[in-house]
Amino acid sequence: MKADIHPDYHMIKVVMTDGTEYMTRSTWGSEGDTLRLDIDPNSHPAWTGGQQGLLDRGGRVSRFQKRYEGLGL
C-alpha cells in the first residue's frame, strides 16, 4: 500500500442543534475542533416526518382532476 495517500483521521466534537455533543473520528478540521450542525437528524423534516404539503399550481394534479372529474368515483 502506498504511504501518505489516506486522509488524516482525528477526533473532533460534534454539537447537534439541541446542544447534545459527542466525539467522533473525522477528516474534517483539525484534532479537537468543534463541528456545530445547523441541520441534524433531530431537527430535519426528512428524519422527523415533518409536514409535507402537496403544492400544485395548475400542474399535474389539477390536470388529472379536471380530466377525470366526471367519472363520479
18 φ, ψ to 5°? -90, 5
pTM value surpassing 0.85: no
pLDDT tens digits, residue range 55-67?
Answer: 656 677 778 888 8
DSSP classification of residue 59:
S
Note the pLDDT of residue 10: 95
- Cα angle 27, 33, 36 (rounded to 5 degrees) comes to 95
* C-alpha span between 66 and 73 (Å, rounded): 13
pLDDT tens digits, residue range 2-53?
Answer: 888 888 999 999 999 889 999 999 999 999 999 998 888 777 777 777 655 5
